[in-house]
Structure 1
Amino acid sequence: MAISKKTRLAVYEKYSGHCAYCGREIAYEDMQVDHFKPQRAWNPEDCGTDDIENLMPSCRMCNHYKRAHSLEVFRQYIASIPDKLRGNYIYKVGIVYGNVLENPKEVTFYFEKAREKEC
């Protein structure tokens, strides 16, 4: 289903022009609308809707990486990136020479930080 311009603008304004996931500023024309709860799920009870509450502003990178996964699966994917990179020879060279610095931390999305500030 196509999302109306009015709804698209409301989604964009949800986080003041920032990606709900990584927090980077995104231009309106570059924003992708992500379904927080995917529209297609194995269990029909888990399916999301086109309601504004289920729509999130997303940059292309985050929307592509999240795909139709739940938030927790997406969080696990992000958290697993350092482990995947450690197998890369160039990454290992970067660590040895200090060009790559690891900074392990819990994955917290921009919209979660924004909600914490509201409370």
Structure 2
Amino acid sequence: MAISKKTRVAVYKKFDGHCAYCGRHIAYNDMQVDHFKPQRAWNPEDSGTDDIENLMPSCRMCNHYKRAHDLETFRRYIAEIPRKLQENYTYKVGVVYGNVLENPKAIKFYFEKVRDTNATD
């Protein structure tokens, strides 16, 4: 999909130059535009659109990891990372020696934190 410069600027401004998912600041030229609801969903009724409401600013890492998944699948994949890492021998050594600190927590995306903060204002 070709996104106009006007739309790209609007997407970038949605979260003041931050990735909607991890919250890191991203340069305008490094921003990728993610479809919040994927365009190619398994069920065509769940497919997203090119409307600005469905477009999110994303860093390359988050956009690559989310791919064409819906938000809850993306959240689950991130939550599964510690379990997957625990299978790695180097990770286990790091935990034993205190170089790796395990910190399981619920995954809350940046846009959710911003939304919750704005809701309490």
TM tier, smaller: over 0.9
Would you say 1:24 and 2:7 are equivalent positions?
Answer: no
> Displacement of 1:36 after TM fit?
0.1
Q: Aligned with 2:48: secondary structure? A: coil
TM-score (ref. length: structure 2)? 0.97
> Displacement of 1:74 after TM fit?
0.1
Would you say 1:2 and 2:2 are equivalent positions?
Answer: yes
Q: Which residue of 2 aligns with 1:49?
A: 49
Q: Partners of 2:60 and 2:4 in 1: how far apart?
A: 19
> Displacement of 1:110 after TM fit?
0.1
Amino acid at match of 1:26: I
Give the unaligned 5+ runs of structure 1. none
Identity %: 80
> Displacement of 1:14 after TM fit?
0.3
Q: Which residue of 2 aligns with 1:86?
A: 86
Q: Partners of 1:104 and 1:16 in 2: how far apart?
A: 28
Q: Which residue of 2 aligns with 1:112?
A: 112
> Displacement of 1:42 after TM fit?
1.2
